[in-house]
Amino acid sequence: MNITFDNVSFKYIERKILDNVSFSINDTDKVGVVGVNGTGKTTLIKLILGNEKPNSGEIIISGGMRINYLPQDPKFDESLSLINIIMKDSTKENPILEYEAESILKKMGFNDTTIKPINFSGGQLKRLALAKSLVTPCDLLILDEPTNHLDNSLIVWLEKYLIKFKKGLFMVTHDRYFLQRVCNKMLEIDFGKIYIYEANYDLFLELKAKRLKDEEASEKRLKRILSQEREWMTRGVEARRTKSKSRIERFKKLSEIKFYEHKEMEFNSLNTYLGKKLISMINGKKAYGDKLLFDNFTFDLERNDIIGVVGDNGCGKSTLFKILMGLEQLDSGQLILGETLKIGYFSQNLELIDPEIRVIDYIKEEHSLIETLDGTLTASDLLEQFLFNKDLQYTKVKMLSGGEKRRLQLVKVLINNPNILLFDEPTNDLDLYTLEILENYLMDFKGPILTVSHDRYFLDKICNKLFVYNDFKIDITLDSFSDYLTKKENEIKIKETKVVTPRNSNKMLPRDRNELNKLETLIPELENKLKELKDDIPNHQTDFHKLLEIQAEIDELENDIDVKTNRYLELLEIKESFN
C-alpha cells in the first residue's frame, strides 16, 4: 500500500510549505521526518490525513489503507473511561482485544483503566493517545513527537516496540537514537522541497552533507552564468539590437531561479560574573503530603557541572528546580545560594507565552536592546540570528509551530546573560538543527547547567554528571546516561533470574487466570492460521497482488503472535509464583 504525492504544493497564508513536490512511501517503510521548525513537518502529516488540502497537485492513498495518528496535543471525550476510549474504534473487521487494551494502558502507567481523563495533564493525554495508536490495527502508524512526556523506561520500551513493528511508520521526532535504530528511510523538508534518503540517521547526515556541497557548487556555477548574462543584457543600445530572443529568454529564466541561503543560527552571550559560592544543599528533604520526593540530599554545584536530572514522570525533577529558584521551600535541610547567581530558567510549559502577542513584542517585553559579545543588538537583529525573519517577527505567537515557540522561549532566556542555566525538557519540539546549536552553546557556556531531559542522545553528549531519582532519594553518578541505563537493565535481569518469592495470596487473580486460559487456546489457533498462510504461498506464484496480501497477513499475524506470547509468558510466571 502506497501514499503518493504528485506535484503537490501547499501554502499557509504567505508561507510556502511545499513547492511542487513528488514522492512515495509504502506500508513497509519506517520513515523519520526531519526539517527545521516551521518548515511544515506537522502540515505534511495533516495533508496525508486529509485535514489540509493541497493548493495544487494530488495526494493518492491506496484504497483501504488504515492509518493511526498520534498528534502532538491529543484531546479525548472526558465522558468516556480510558478502556472505552481505547475500545471505541474496535470493529468486527479490525478488532481490539480488551486484555491487550488493558495491558498497553498499564504499560503507559494507567493502572485503573475505568477512570475518565478529566483534568489529565498534557503528558497523561499523550500517553493515553500513544496507547490507543499502538493497540488499534493499522497499515501505517503516524507519530508526531512520540517521546515527548515519556519517562526513560517508556522511551526505551517504545523504541524496542517500534523496531519489531511490522507495518509502516511515519514519525516526526527529535530523538536521534530513535531515528538511528528504528528508521530505514529519512524524509527531509527543506525550503519547500522534499528529499528522500534510504538511510538511518547517521548515514542521512553524510548524504545530506554531500547534497549541500553539490548544491553549493551548482549554485556557484549558476550565479556566475547569471552574472555574465546580466552584464551582456546591460550593454549599450547598439549592442542591444544584436541580442537574440533565445538568449534574452534564457536570461529571464535564470533570473527567476531562487537561491536559498542556509542561515546559521548563532548567539554569543556576555559572560556574567560568577562568584566562588554557587549552590549547595545539605540533607535536603521534600515531600508533597504523604508522597516523599527525596530525602537527605546533599550536593555542591561546581562551576564546570553540566548535570542531567533524570527519573520517572512525577518523581519531583521540576520541583527541585523550583526549590533552587526559591519558588518552593525544602521541608528540612539547608539550601545555600551564592550572591552573584543570575539564573536563566527554561520552562517546559509553552502556555506561559501569550498566544496573541507578536514575536518581536515578546522579546521587547524583556529588552529592546541586547548586549552580546558581538556588540549591542536590537530585538529584531537578535531574532534574525535565531532564524526569525522580518515576516515572522510581526506574526502572532499562536501562528508559530511548536518548535518555533520553543526557540523563541530560548531567546528570552539567553538575552539576560545568565551565569547558571536550569533547563526543563529543553529538547521537546526542537528540530535537529536547533538541537545541535543548543548543545554546542551549552558545552561552551561559562557556568554550571542543570537540565531535566529524557533525550538520551542529548544527555550523553553534554552531561558530565547525573542526578538520578531512585526510590525517594537522588543518587549522584558520573556515568553517561546510556551507561547508567545499561547498568540498570543488567540489575533488573539479575533480579529476574532469582527465585520468585510466593505471594501473600495463594490465588491468582480471576482476570489474569481467564486471560491466561484464553491465550493458551488462542496462540495455537494463530500459529495454525500462520502455517496455513505460508502453505498457501506456492498456490499463487503468478498472482503478485495476492502474494502481497498473503505476506501482509503473515507479517500482521507474526507480530500478533509475538505480543500474545510475551503476555502469555508474563502470566505464566505470575501463575508459577503461587506454586
**DSSP of 307-319:** EEEE-STTSSHHH
- Asked if residues 577 and 503 have their Cβ atoms less than 8 Å apart, the reply is yes
C-alpha cell at 73: 496535543
pLDDT at residue 509, as a whole number: 80
How far is residue 70's CA from residue 139's CA, in Å, rounded to a whole number? Answer: 14
502 pLDDT tier (thresholds 50, 70, 90):
very low
Residue 392: which of 409, 405, 410 has the closest Cα? Answer: 405
26, 29, 34, 38 alpha-carbon torsion, rounded to 10°: 30
Q: What is the pLDDT of residue 7?
A: 95
Report the chain's mean pLDDT, rounded to a whole number: 84
Highest mean predicted confidence (pLDDT) among 138-142, 261-265, 398-402: 138-142
Instruction: Quote the CA–CA distance of 158 and 162 in Å, as a whole number.
Output: 6
- Distance separating alpha carbons of residues 433 and 574, to the nearest angstrom: 47
Of 213 and 465, more confident: 465
Across the range 175-186, mean pLDDT stands at 92
| DSSP class of 400 | S
Enter the pTM of the model. Answer: 0.72
Q: Tell me, what's the pLDDT at 130?
A: 95
Helix (H) or strand (E) holding 488: helix 481-497
Residue identified by cell 515519556 is 150
Contacts 24+ apart (CB under 8 A), 87-93: 89/132, 89/136, 90/136
Residue pair 344/413 in contact (Cβ under 8 Å)? The answer is yes
- Asked whether the predicted pLDDT for residue 500 surpasses 60, the reply is no
Say how many CA atoms lie within 13 Å of 163 toward its Cβ: 13
State the average pLDDT over residues 247-254: 61
What distances in angstroms separate CA 31 from CA 137, 138, 196, 255, one per listed residue?
19, 16, 9, 36
- Within a 10 A sphere around the Cβ of 515, how many other Cβ atoms? 22
Outline where DSSP puts E strands in 46-124. Answer: 56-61, 67-70
What's the rounded Cα separation, in Å, for the pair 93 and 90?
8
Crossing angle for the helix pair 122-135 and 98-107, to the nearest 10 degrees:
140
User: pLDDT above 70 covers what percent of the chain?
Assistant: 86
- Whether the predicted pLDDT of 327 surpasses 80: yes
Measure the N-to-C terminal CA separation of the chain; round to a whole number of Å.
49
Highest mean pLDDT among 207-211, 239-243, 291-295, 351-355: 291-295
CA distance 86 to 483: 36
- Between 225 and 370, where is the model more confident? 370
Report whether 100 contacts 26 (CB < 8 A).
no
Q: 30-34 and 193-197 as β-strands: parallel, antiparallel, unpaired?
A: unpaired
Please give the Cα distance from 452 to 152 (Å, whole number).
12
Q: Give residue 189's pLDDT.
A: 93
Q: Specify the amino acid at residue 216.
A: E
What's the average model confidence in pLDDT over 228-245?
58
Average pLDDT of the residues in 225-252? 60
Cell of 352: 506561559
User: Nine-digit cell at 128?
Assistant: 493515553
Cα(46)–Cα(40) distance, integer angstroms: 10
**Is the pLDDT at 451 greater than 50, yes or no?**
yes
499 or 508, higher pLDDT: 508
Which residues lie below 8 Å from residue 269, measured CB to CB, with a gap of 6+?
372, 373, 414, 415, 417, 418
Distance CA 372, CA 382 (A): 9
Strands (E), 164-301: 168-172, 185-190, 193-197, 279-288, 291-300
